[in-house]
A = this chain, B = another copy of it.
């Protein structure tokens, strides 16, 4: 993601600090919004949906903690990142205890290179896009190899190892029929010998857990994963 696509909302009651932080972030190409208290921050957040909000803890009208709690209650702003600005010395562990809603803490005084690094790290971590090569997107669902799960309708489905490997194998031959022999060779390995019903049982469990009929049986031949 380009920095220019990232919007950051800065919230502080001191114009100087807004200016200072804004300058450093804009220099990196981020799109920066500014608000001078928690209330304004919330309305701006609703309107512009920033990726990250940097909130000063100490503010008049509505302080950072309050604002954070409010923002966390708003469903449309779910997934937004919030970082607190705190004065050095206020033990962040105490703050962490008050409010688990924050994603990060940045202490004043602010040192620009570190500040920018921190923001970058935050954005990177939360975008945390899994490696594309580990993800297979099908019509109705997504297979994430790195997390060993299948996601269907936003719900995580956990398959156990053999089930997962079998599914992967079928999907790797999308729309093609694979024989039982090929399945054995691909999932179990050439030399392993297991009974004939073993595949059936695994297929069944996959169909059950995933609630799909994408795995078609071709009688006398084998199985096929159909992408409708």
Contacts and interface: CB of A to CB of B under 8 A. Distances in A.
Interface of A: 14, 16-17, 20, 69, 72-75, 78-79, 88, 92-114, 117-118, 121, 125, 128-130, 132-133, 135, 137, 139-142, 146-148, 151, 153-156, 158, 160-161, 174-177, 218-221, 224
A69 B74 CA distance: 36
Task: Report copies per complex.
Answer: 2
Nearest to A156: B93
A76 to B, nearest CB: 9
A153 to B, nearest CB: 5
A interface, by DSSP: helix, strand, loop or mixed?
A: mixed
A156 B142 CA distance: 26
A110 to B, nearest CB: 7
Nearest to A151: B93
25 contacts: A16-B95, A17-B99, A69-B112, A72-B111, A72-B113, A78-B113, A88-B129, A92-B142, A93-B142, A93-B151, A93-B154, A96-B137, A97-B153, A98-B108, A101-B110, A101-B112, A102-B137, A103-B109, A105-B135, A121-B133, A128-B175, A147-B224, A148-B177, A148-B224, A158-B218
Nearest to A117: B133
Contacts of A161: 218-221
Q: Considering the complex of A and B, which 5 residue pairs feature the smallest CB-CB distances, nearest first?
A: A97-B154, A161-B220, A98-B109, A93-B151, A146-B176
Given A111-B78, A111-B101, A219-B161, A96 B156 contact: no
